[in-house]
Structure 1
Amino acid sequence: MSWDEEYDIVCAGSGMGGLTGALTATERGKTAIVIEKFEQLGGVSALSSGQLWPGPNHLADAAGINDDEGLAKSYIDHLSQGMSTPELRDAFFMGSREVLRFMTDTIGIEMRVIRNLPDYYYPKVEGSAAEGRYIEVVPFPAQKLGEWASKVLCSPYGHYYNYSTSSEWIAMQRGGDHLNIPLRRHVAADERCAGAGMAAAQVFEALKRGVKFCTSTEVTQLVIEDGKVVGVLTSGPSGTRRIRARSGVLLATGGYDWHPTFVRSFDALPSTGSMALPTITGDHFVLASKAGVIPMPARAPAQTPIFVGYKVPSETIYGNNGSSRLLVPGQPHSIIVNRTGKRFANDSFYPDVATKCGRFDGQEQGMVNWPAWVIFDQNMLDKKGMLPAPPGSPLPDGMAIEADSLSALAQLAGIDAEGLQATVERFNGMCKTGVDEDFERGTNPWGCLMAGDPKLKNPNMAELAKAPFYAVKLERVTMGVPTAGLPINCDGCVINAAGDVVPGLYASGNSASWQDWGGGYNSGIASMRGMLYGYKSALHMTS
């Protein structure tokens, strides 16, 4: 075959995995191209909180935070419920520490520990830590990118996603400045934070090293010769191109949020919303199938971090009418109920809510907690708001059902009125003591920090008392983190259905099966896996 272009490595996707792979290769003196299906760079990683969870790391060491790898492994082992592969789990810790130092010390991306942010399940799960395992990028001045600043993705869901840091959120929740103060400063200076900041910083360093970028371009086919992946075919503004990969192809295209058949098949969900890019359509599955690779679920769908959220019918994102929004449950003056009007989970901690929303009952042969609604009063709307509505603002048209009484609200929503009334009365009574005797709401430190009010006796509990009352129907919302991915080994090499390595083919991040973590989840893992396997893949390709 004749080639239009040749590089040492070809990266399909410009999220954390693709950018890390390109940076690693070029730092080792090789050439790299990053091909991005969307019109801007950054992928789903750029839309995320930008948190990295490497376990014990050098930045925590430098901050004087003591940690132990054995404890961190115990934490993963509990979360994975036997679904992780031990050698991949061990390689995760060693490799994460290594790539994090590579990014800070060699590539030059400035990062820091997020102080006072505990693991999801601290202190209940063995091996969990009070702080030190979360890392974030320092705010990045987009002006350093010049004309490329507009070509790096920012979230369309608002400034909070692009111009505020986890450190600033935690500081506010612990009594410091309101988030709006640093947010206004970051917006004025176009200092990008979180996932948008990491994407900007990585693109900046990649440009310095001569990485080639192609946007609005889709990888349509792998070119395979004598069983080895040697290049790709692409379709974009320049038509069809044949691009040779002398060392290998890295699939870093993300998950499959916008491929309904894959979502139904692997995640066992007949319908979902998504906050991911519309280009996240499971391309890695289609591409790798030519090499005899089949997707591998690494856990049960109930263990996948598929969130709960809600529709905003009047909001248009990426040209789609009726956007989906993530709900961070646990705001004071709110509860989550099922059709009987009863609470069914610790509704201040999203993993518990999401898991119990998906409960299938063998006796009733149905989803006993689905559909579900978040119920709240005017106090919550005034104090906390509900995105895209800031505190004190009315909700967008069509987003909520509103009524002057709980019984009228229940009737309009299709919820059992007596059940809802009884649930609210019981919840309000428990708010007086600050102790949730039913589901231990407000006992998880992570949930308190994310949604609570530290001035309350229980940060996540306050009465539903001020009319009008509101009901917002929930939906399942994906965020790019899938149940299934391409099977890989410790070097990121893709494994085919026969159990053999496919020469020249690699996968990272959410394109790769979660065999290293198995069934559990903790925020920061998805981005960390993208960085880790982008790095490991490029090392193996260029060795």
Structure 2
Amino acid sequence: MNWDDEVDVICTGAAVAGLAHAVAVVEMGGDVFVGSSRDDVGPGGAAVAVRSRVDRLHWLDINTSDPETNEYFASLSSDLGPLTRSARDADVPIRVVDHAEPVDPRGVVMPFVGARLRDWAARCLVSPYGYLYTRVADWQSTTLRTVDGDSIEVAELGSITPDPANVGGSVLDWLHTQALDRDIVVHHGTSLERIVFEEGAVVGAEFTTPEGRVAVRARHGVAVAGGGPYAALATGQALPTDDASLRLCLVGQTASRFGRVELLTSQPFTKSVASNCRSVTGRLFVNMHETHSHLQTWRCGKVDGYPSPGQ
């Protein structure tokens, strides 16, 4: 196949999850291709809810012109059963964290539990801040263990003090600023046409653009992202007291291709929220780019309103 471009990671979407991946990759020294078919993001990152998109069963319910791509997406959610979406799923997930505590990499490996992975995938699929990464091993993140014994993958992007009336919009604005600071180019009017496979492995993606078809090879993987936030669905969220800043993170679960963007805090909430997560400050080791030690990792137990990942 003739490739028009080659990057480390392809991001399909320029909303919160897509931009978060792009910022993380560039911060680690990688390069990205960000394709966005959305024309409904206004100045300042104010996203408009497109009813056909919001009413879909989940954000991976994509119908491309390529049967192999459709079959691939369907296979990742076919065993999850009926998915339900609540009003809280429109919110950015927030975790309460405690003190730093190192994790021993020589520790005991926890057993594989398929039911937990299915539950985590379902939770990510109904979240506007969820994403699919086509490789299980994500070179951006560090493997950590939760206080409940689950193994998760976490990478911190930075700190933010969001507007309580529109937390999702604040996160998107912050990511837009980070992307501009890093010269990340978003290719607007660029729709995913198909995922490209070689011997069963994802090696890139093909897009439809105003200039025609563009084929991009991914040296590491493709991030297919949810489209949140949606301004029409935005509601106020309870935030930590004292106007404390929150830490924006990519959070996944070990052995899962799914994850979501979350906010972490060590401060109490304005409403009752259990504080049973621990943070880990460490270096992220990657297999193709230099380490950036200022990226933080976290080890957490439960999420505001949600069980811990995989439970």
> Which structure has the higher relative contact order (CA within 8 Å, separation 6+)?
2
Greater share of helix: 1
Q: TM-score, normalised by structure 1?
A: 0.27
Q: TM-score, normalised by structure 2?
A: 0.44
Structure with the greater alpha carbon radius of gyration: 1
Greater share of strand: 2
